[in-house]
A and B are shown apart, each in its own frame.
Chain A
Amino acid sequence: MTEEDVPKKIKSVSKRIYTEILKEEKPEVSMPLRSLQNVTYDEKEGYFQLDNKFKSRTLTASTVKTFAQTLKMMALSKTLVETDDIATKRETYYVSKNWGDARFKEQVESDTVMDDIEAMFMVNREQMGFVPEEKGGDIAGKLVVIDKDPETGKEIRIDCTKFGSGAYSIPISVEHLKFETNAKFILAIETAGMFQRLVKHTYWKTANCILVSMGGVPTRACRRFVRRLSDERKLPVYVFTDGDPYGFLNIYRTFKVGSGNAAHINKYFCVPNAKFFGITTQDIIDYKLPTHPLKEVDIKRIKDGIKNDPFVKHYKQWEKSLIEMVKLKKRAEQQALAQHGLNFVISNYLPDKLKNPKTWLP
Chain B
Amino acid sequence: MQKTLDFGSSDLNGVDKAESRAAANAQKEKAAPVAVELAKKQREISVAEFFEKNRHLLGFDNRKKALLTTVKEAVDNSLDACEEAKVLPELVVEITNMGENRYRIAVEDNGPGIVRKQIPNIFAKLLYGSKFHRLKQSRGQQGIGISASVMYGQLTTGRPAKIISKIGPEYPAHEIELKLDTSKNKPLIVSEKEVEWHRDHGTRVEIDLEGDYMKGAQSVDEYLRETAIINPHVTIIYQPPQDSQIMFVRATEELPKEPKEIKPHPYGVELGILMKMLENTEYRTLNAFLTNEFSRVGAGTAKEICEQSFLLPSTSPRNISREMAEKLLEGIKKTKIMAPPTDSISPLGKELIEKGLKKELNAEFYHSISRSPSVYRGNPFIIEAAIAYGGNMPEDKPIEIMRFANRVPLLYQQGACAVTKSITSTNWRPYGLKQSQGSIPIGGCLIVVHMASVWVPFTSEAKEAIAHYPEIIKEIKLALQELGRELGKYLGKKRRLHQELTKVDYISKYLPHVSGALQEILTLDEGEKARLEDHLRVVLEKTRSIKKEELDELKKDYGPKRKRESNEADNFDEEEEGSSEDDQERDYSDNEEEEL
**B587 contacts A33, CB within 8 Å?**
yes
Q: Interface range on chain B: under 10, 10 to 19, 20 to 34, or 35 or more?
A: 35 or more
| Chain A residues closer than 8 Å to B522, beta-carbon distance | 11, 14-15, 18
Q: Say whether A259 faces chain B, with CB atoms less than 8 Å apart.
A: yes
With contacts A15-B522, A61-B506, A261-B595 known, is A26 near B539, CB below 8 A? yes
Taken together as a complex, chains A and B put the C-alpha atoms of A179 and B589 apart, in Å, by: 38
**B587 contacts A68, CB within 8 Å?**
no
Q: Mark A42-81, 1 if CB is under 8 A from B, else 0.
A: 0000000000000101011111111111011011001100
Q: Say whether B29 faces chain A, with CB atoms less than 8 Å apart.
A: no
8 Å CB interface, A72-113 against B: 72, 74-75, 78-79, 99-102, 105, 109, 112
Q: Say whether B45 faces chain A, with CB atoms less than 8 Å apart.
A: no
**A71 contacts B531, CB within 8 Å?**
no
Which stretch in B341-349, B508-516, B554-562 binds the other chain?
B508-516
Taken together as a complex, chains A and B put the C-alpha atoms of A261 and B518 apart, in Å, by: 28
Q: Mark B577-592, 1 if CB is under 8 A from A, else 0.
A: 1100110011101111
**B532 contacts A18, CB within 8 Å?**
yes
With contacts A34-B587, A55-B587 known, is A61 near B543, CB below 8 A? yes
Taken together as a complex, chains A and B put the C-alpha atoms of A74 and B514 apart, in Å, by: 11
With contacts A64-B540, A68-B517 known, is A217 near B593, CB below 8 A? yes
Q: Say whether B18 faces chain A, with CB atoms less than 8 Å apart.
A: no
Q: Interface on chain A toward B: helix, strand, loop, or mixed SS?
A: helix
Taken together as a complex, chains A and B put the C-alpha atoms of A254 and B544 apart, in Å, by: 42
Q: Mark B507-543, 1 if CB is under 8 A from A, else 0.
A: 1011101101110111010000001100110111111
| Chain B residues closer than 8 Å to A261, beta-carbon distance | 590-591, 593, 595
**B509 contacts A101, CB within 8 Å?**
yes
**B521 contacts A102, CB within 8 Å?**
no
Chain B residue nearest in CB terms to A70: B517
With contacts A11-B522, A64-B507, A100-B513 known, is A59 near B539, CB below 8 A? yes
Q: Say whether B323 faces chain A, with CB atoms less than 8 Å apart.
A: no
Q: Say whether A323 faces chain B, with CB atoms less than 8 Å apart.
A: no
Q: Say whether B503 faces chain A, with CB atoms less than 8 Å apart.
A: yes
Q: Say whether B596 faces chain A, with CB atoms less than 8 Å apart.
A: yes
Taken together as a complex, chains A and B put the C-alpha atoms of A59 and B587 apart, in Å, by: 18
**A21 contacts B513, CB within 8 Å?**
no
Chain B residue nearest in CB terms to A222: B596
Q: Interface on chain B toward A: helix, strand, loop, or mixed SS?
A: helix
Q: Say whether B594 faces chain A, with CB atoms less than 8 Å apart.
A: yes
| Chain A residues closer than 8 Å to B594, beta-carbon distance | 216-217, 250
Taken together as a complex, chains A and B put the C-alpha atoms of A216 and B595 apart, in Å, by: 11
A92–chain B nearest beta-carbon distance, Å: 14
With contacts A18-B522, A34-B590, A65-B582 known, is A24 near B517, CB below 8 A? no
With contacts A61-B544, A75-B517 known, is A22 near B532, CB below 8 A? yes
| Chain B residues closer than 8 Å to A64, beta-carbon distance | 506-507, 510-511, 514, 540
Chain B residue nearest in CB terms to A262: B595
Taken together as a complex, chains A and B put the C-alpha atoms of A79 and B511 apart, in Å, by: 22
A89–chain B nearest beta-carbon distance, Å: 9
**B539 contacts A25, CB within 8 Å?**
yes
B524–chain A nearest beta-carbon distance, Å: 8
Chain A residue nearest in CB terms to B504: A61
Taken together as a complex, chains A and B put the C-alpha atoms of A102 and B517 apart, in Å, by: 11
Chain A residue nearest in CB terms to B521: A14
| Chain A residues closer than 8 Å to B539, beta-carbon distance | 21, 24-27, 59
Chain A residue nearest in CB terms to B596: A219
Most A C-beta atoms less than 10 A away, residue of B506, B520, B532, B593: B593
**B590 contacts A36, CB within 8 Å?**
yes
Q: Say whether A272 faces chain B, with CB atoms less than 8 Å apart.
A: no
**B514 contacts A67, CB within 8 Å?**
yes
**A22 contacts B531, CB within 8 Å?**
yes
With contacts A37-B589, A134-B596, A220-B596 known, is A101 near B581, CB below 8 A? no
Q: A60-B540, A71-B513 are in contact. List 7 more A-B contacts (CB 8 A).
A: A14-B522, A17-B518, A61-B506, A116-B586, A217-B594, A259-B593, A261-B593
Interchain residue pairs with CB less than 8 A apart (30): A10-B521, A11-B521, A18-B522, A35-B587, A37-B589, A59-B514, A61-B506, A61-B541, A62-B581, A64-B514, A67-B514, A68-B514, A68-B517, A69-B513, A71-B513, A72-B513, A74-B521, A75-B517, A75-B520, A75-B521, A100-B513, A101-B510, A116-B586, A217-B593, A220-B596, A250-B592, A250-B594, A260-B593, A262-B595, A301-B592
Closest 9 CB pairs of A and B: A71-B517, A68-B513, A60-B543, A260-B590, A102-B513, A61-B503, A75-B520, A14-B521, A217-B594
